[in-house]
Amino acid sequence: MLTSTFIMLKPDAVKRGLTNTIIQIFQENGYQIKRQKEVVVDRNLILKHYEEVIIRVNKPYFEQAILDFFDGQKVIALELQKEGDHVIEDVRALVGATDPAKADPSSIRGRYGEDSLEASMSQKRTLRNLIHASDSVESAKQELSLWFN
């Protein structure tokens, strides 16, 4: 059975010219790209995408930090597919820990990350960690629907 998940290559990955490199890593690991599109992010889309995170983080500056990082910027939205039951977990392992400074050096964030959670929090800005990857089947379905209508 093919399982799908959602990936967003964030503005920092796009600006650094890492999109093809990251996509190639997924393909080399057996993932197929079912859908891909470049999106210029608008306020409503990104706030809907990060709605739960904004509530969970509960920092007064966080919503504005997300807007500062994403609004009007290009991202690449991907639907990845692979055979198996653990696609979401396997993709997240390949991507690496949220904090690039703590990510496995062989992961995407470990190899290409240039930021840390500590730095982003002290500067009250969004963590530049290259990629968003769905964390559950439910969030993958919701995010795929949001980004691919």
Q: Using an 8 Å Cβ cutoff, are 131 and 45 in contact?
A: no
Q: List the catalytic residue out of 23, 108, 132, 133.
A: 132
A 10 A CB-CB count for 18 gives 19
User: Hey, is 53 helix, strand or coil?
Assistant: helix
Q: Using an 8 Å Cβ cutoff, are 25 and 19 in contact?
A: no
User: Which spans in 6-135 are helix H?
Assistant: 11-15, 19-28, 43-49, 51-57, 62-70, 87-95, 108-112, 117-122
Active site residue 132: yes
Catalytic residues: 132
